[in-house]
Each structure stands twice: as structure tokens, then as C-alpha cells.
Amino acid sequence: DGGITQSPKYLFRKEGQNVTLSCEQNLNHDAMYWYRQDPGQGLRLIYYSQIVNDFQKGDIAEGYSVSREKKESFPLTVTSAQKNPTAFYLCASSAQSVEQFFGPGTRLTVL
Amino acid sequence: GIQVEQSPPDLILQEGANSTLRCNFSDSVNNLQWFHQNPWGQLINLFYIPSGTKQNGRLSATTVATERYSLLYISSSQTTDSGVYFCAAGASSGGGADGLTFGKGTHLIIQP
């Protein structure tokens, strides 16, 4: 089955801990993206990667880090420097310059 | 960067009614997408429409790139059409695809 998978579906974190959210795609897409959604709001871009071993900051990159070692995978680490990490995180992918497709998301809650 | 504004923010209609959702964007774009977010948070792709007109069943969309707006039409609304509709726009730099800028969405409620 082709698509984008994110894990875990729900994640709970204590303050001061780093956590890593997984995003995998088997669509052979070059570009991958991470977005954050807060309640009642639209999505905001955190990081994106157009090619393996390269990535760019989006609008709200502070407190987050990413890596792109494989074409299929684009993990996002939420660090302790992120002041308000509780949110819904969505990963997307696209072939170059065309339509983006989204995974099911991970809900992160800081306790 | 690109700014995206959606209107109206909320819309309540009776089943069977037609609706028009609007999206204004501030700059030239080469990606314009409409999504429906389901109650579990999944974004469902409705249209990829940087210009022109497309139709898919009861839904259709039109983007007038020169005037920087897009419209999503829903005809003969059903209760299952309820949810949040997002418009998102993007541009390319250096031949690659940059991220999308999302509007705040239109919350549509279809009453039986």
C-alpha cells in the first residue's frame, strides 16, 4: 500500500525531554515536509527537505531539528528548547513542485 | 512570504444547499491546494489547482491566478461535508517545492 505513515499516533512527553516523531513514505517522492497545527488554526511549516541530506527551515523552526538520511524518511525531533510543543504534527511529501500529500499526524502532549 | 486568507471563517447551512468558500493569496503561486480535514485530523486532498477550473462530483474549484483568488464550490451539501476546509498556497525556489502556507480554514456545518 503506497502512502505516508507517521508514528506514534499519540505521544506524551515530560517537560525537558526530547522526543522524535517518525515519518515514512513509499511514494518515491523527493520532497518531504513537517507542519504543526494548533487548535482552531491552520498548519504552519516547521522544516522541509527537497532532497536527501538537505533541508531548510520553515516559518517556525526554533526548538525543532530534522534529518534526511534516506529518501523515504524524515524524522522530526522536538527538543526541550521548544517552549510550547503540545500540538498536532503532520508530515507531507510531494514529487518536485507538485501536489502535497499528508500523513495521519501525531498528537503530542507535554505533561 | 505568501499570505493566505479564507472566508467565511464559519458557515452553517441546511442539507441540500450550495456553498462557496473563498481563498485570497498575496503573491504569485505555482501550488494551490484545497483540503478537507476530517474529525480525526487527516487532511484529505480535494483539489490541486494553481490555475483554471476542476470538478469532482459535487465539488468544483476555480483559481484565477492573475487576481490571486480561488473558490471552492460545494453543491447539494450533505451532512458528511461538514468539517474544516483549508486552502494552502506555495511557490517554488531553485526548482524545488517550498512548503505550503495555509489559511485559517472555513468551518462548515451542514444541518440535516
- Do B88 and B103 touch, CB atoms closer than 8 A? yes
- Check the CA dihedral A88-A67-B92-B47 and report its sign: negative
Q: How remote is the C-alpha of A1 from its chain's centroid?
A: 21
DSSP3 helix / strand / coil % (chain B, rounded to 5): 5, 60, 35
| Residue in chain A nearest B39 by alpha carbon | A104
- Cα angle A74-A75-A77, degrees, rounded to a multiple of 5: 145
pLDDT score of B94 more than 60: no
pLDDT band, very low/low/confident/very high, at A97 (cuts 50, 70, 90):
low
CA distance A2 to chain B (A): 15
Q: Does A58 touch chain B (CB under 8 A)?
A: yes
pLDDT in the model for residue A98 = 78
Residues A20-71 have pLDDT tens digits of: 999 999 999 999 999 999 998 899 999 999 999 999 999 999 999 999 999 9
Give burial (CB, 10 Å; 0-12/13-18/19+) of B111. Answer: exposed
- Which of A78 and B94 is assigned the larger pLDDT? A78
Between the CA atoms of A37, A38, A44 and A47, what dihedral angle is there, to the nearest 10 degrees?
Answer: -70
Query: Are B15 and B79 spatial neighbours (Cβ–Cβ below 8 Å)?
Result: yes
SS3 B80: helix
pLDDT digits (tens, 9 = 90+) for B44-80: 999 999 999 999 999 999 999 999 999 999 999 999 9
pLDDT, residue B98, reads: 79
Q: What is the mean pLDDT of residues B19-48?
A: 95
Q: How far is A104 from chain B (nearest CA, A)?
A: 5
The average pLDDT across B70-99 equals 88
Q: Is A58's CB within 8 Å of B45's CB?
A: no
What is the length of chain A? 111
Q: Residue B96: is its pLDDT beyond 60?
A: no
Burial per residue of B40-63, b for 16 or more beta-carbon CB atoms within 10 angstroms, e otherwise: ebebeebbbbbeeeeeeeebbbbb
CB A82 within 8 A of CB A15: no
Which residue among A35, A99, A104 sits closest to B45, beta carbon to beta carbon? A99
**Four-CA torsion A36, A41, A42, A47, nearest 10 degrees:** -20
Give the angle A17-A15-A10 at the CA atoms, nearest 5°: 75
Q: Which residues in chain A are contacts of B97 at CB distance < 8 A?
A: 31, 50, 94, 96-98, 100
